Amino acid sequence: MQKVVFQDLGLISYKDAWEYQAEKLKELVDRKLSNRKLAPGHQEEQIHYLLFCEHPPVYTLGKSGSMSHLLLDEEGLAREGFEFFKINRGGDITYHGPGQIVGYPIFDLDCFFTDVHKYVRFLEEAVILTIAEYGLQGKREKGYTGVWLEGNSQQPKRKICAIGVHLSRWVTMHGFAFNINTQLSHFDNIIPCGIDDKDKDVTSLARELGREVSINEVKGKLRQHFAGLFDFEFTG
């Protein structure tokens, strides 16, 4: 069974978290390349990481995204107190901020399965299983990543978790942003994930339940669903 180190980084700047992810990714890639030169039985055990954190308000634009989906200019970003980064994950633009669980799995998929589609589905499933514990039925929306709640005549389909990943030599970085007690008005400054459909919106666990939710409680449930889906055990 694979071993995963869990680290809750708390409130951390996006830049610092990005650099830390890159450091851990390099650690896993270097270990993998070193092991390839060693005979079986002499190889070092691969150690993976699952990082949770929150960020001060920041917008990030994936490599396939469009700058036109950011609705603030530099002055507007500075005035409102937002940072902005162009990054190397897939996907378009999204928002990170307090009250959100941002998850960064640094996994060597050679130790699990080499299937990016399956990996993203597992990220979605961990969130779907977590919100089910709060009585919400998460779903996947055809043509999009992330976790959604079904719409009806009173409200549109709502995205509660965005996903964007990057892989290097089958080692993952970036991950998901799960809205718990997130200030949803901050999404008004972007076209979230580049989706401008009138029948789609963003939401949070707090909005759906009509109350503030313990973010630490959600983290605990989410951790266990990750371990169950990927069949690993936490260490360290």
> What domains are there in the chain, each with its CATH number?
2-235 (3.30.930.10)
pLDDT value for 117 = 97
pLDDT value for 225 = 98
Residue whose C-alpha is closest to residue 100's, from 195, 179, 217: 179
The residue written with tokens 């707090």 in the block is: 206
Below-50 pLDDT ranges, the chain: none
Instruction: Count the neighbouring beta carbons within 10 Å of the beta carbon of residue 92.
Output: 20
The answer to whether the beta carbons of residues 152 and 136 sit under 8 Å apart is no
pLDDT value for 190 = 80
Angstrom distance (rounded) from CA 32 to CA 193: 33
Question: What is the helix (H) or strand (E) element at residue 218, kind and residue range?
Answer: helix 215-230
The token pair at 7 is: 């680290």
CA angle at 57 for the pair 50 and 206, rounded to the nearest 5° = 75
Instruction: Count the neighbouring beta carbons within 10 Å of the beta carbon of residue 220.
Output: 11
Active site residue 161: no
pLDDT value for 84 = 93
pLDDT value for 6 = 98
pLDDT value for 92 = 86
pLDDT value for 153 = 79
pLDDT value for 148 = 97
pTM across the whole model: 0.94
Which listed residue (53, 111, 161, 193) is catalytic? 193
The token pair at 46 is: 């691969």
Provide the 3-class DSSP secondary structure of residue 153: coil
For 144, residues 6+ apart whose C-beta sits below 8 A from its C-beta are: 159, 193, 195
For 157, residues 6+ apart whose C-beta sits below 8 A from its C-beta are: 141, 148, 149, 150, 151, 199, 200, 201
Q: What is the pLDDT of residues 59-104, one digit of tens each?
A: 998 887 888 888 888 888 888 889 998 888 888 899 999 999 999 9
